[in-house]
Homo-oligomer: A and B are copies of this chain.
């Protein structure tokens, strides 16, 4: 029997990444294309179709091998009904029955999920949380996203928001957040907030990569900068650790590239603030799948739903 294939799609504000994944969870091929023009839904469907046919033929696969499609999106979705609830970056997709719409174009089942949940699923199955039944994944970028694996399954909330770790308040009456809350983790360690803080400290425009380079050279201000970010992240992580006791906490995304000064501080803070039964058990790891996590997770989502049937 020929290999069964799953098509993973990670819709981003600028680029949409795709991948073919085998039924043995192997990443067989990947591709990407511009997300420009996606407000036109038919255009999105056709662009996706063209990309799929091209990636299949380039790799000598046939459409018949395709068993399902999974799509990760940067916003809340109703996973059960396949409905996009809201998207900041693509206009006109709010309350859009994306899964049903795409069935007109593709002859296989289509599943949609929040992109942070896809990343979390991939890290759980193939990455840094592999083997753990309970795991928390954080992705530190412009936004701070999260996903939670409980008893090997993605946690899905009744209001379709997922584990919004980025919106754990880390202080009373903190700055207002775009989510509607105050003092959220994201308001302190989201890319924009960290960049603004770095400008204040170094008195010039400076990228987070540059701050990391300075930290690697032992610059005390840069080290302190990452240490403080790690403490804030560690406080929010500790809330989840003491309530849900994940076996592993995976931290990924662009900001996680800061590496050891950041991770050492997250670990130290989590150990300080966690219950004694957990201190030696809880592992804080860097995400292992990098930029592939989103497409891999989307494909795995489709695969697992189809195989569960």
Contact = CB atoms under 8 A, between A and B. Distances in A.
A43 B274 CA distance: 36
A148 interface: yes
A90 B281 CA distance: 26
Copies of this protein chain in the complex:
2
A58 interface: no
A214 interface: no
Residue among A159, A163, A276 facing the most chain B CB atoms (10 A cut-off): A159
A87 to B, nearest CB: 14
A117 interface: no
A240 B238 contact: no
Contacts of A273: 169, 172, 181-184
Interface string A221-242: 0000000000110011011101
Contacts of A134: 157-158
Interface in A217-264: 231-232, 235-236, 238-240, 242-247
B158 A275 contact: no
B180 A274 contact: yes
Contacts of A165: 243
Contact of A281 (B159, B168, B243, B247): B159
Nearest to A86: B277
Residue from A146, A164, A169, A279 having most chain B Cβ neighbours under 10 A:
A169
Contacts of A274: 180-181
B272 A181 contact: yes
A136 B229 CA distance: 29
23 contacts: A133-B158, A148-B243, A155-B244, A158-B246, A158-B247, A159-B245, A159-B281, A161-B277, A164-B243, A164-B275, A167-B275, A168-B243, A169-B238, A169-B242, A172-B232, A179-B242, A181-B242, A181-B272, A181-B274, A182-B272, A183-B273, A236-B239, A239-B243
List the 10 closest A-B pairs by CB distance, nearest first.
A180-B276, A157-B245, A167-B242, A169-B273, A239-B239, A179-B275, A168-B239, A159-B245, A181-B273, A134-B158
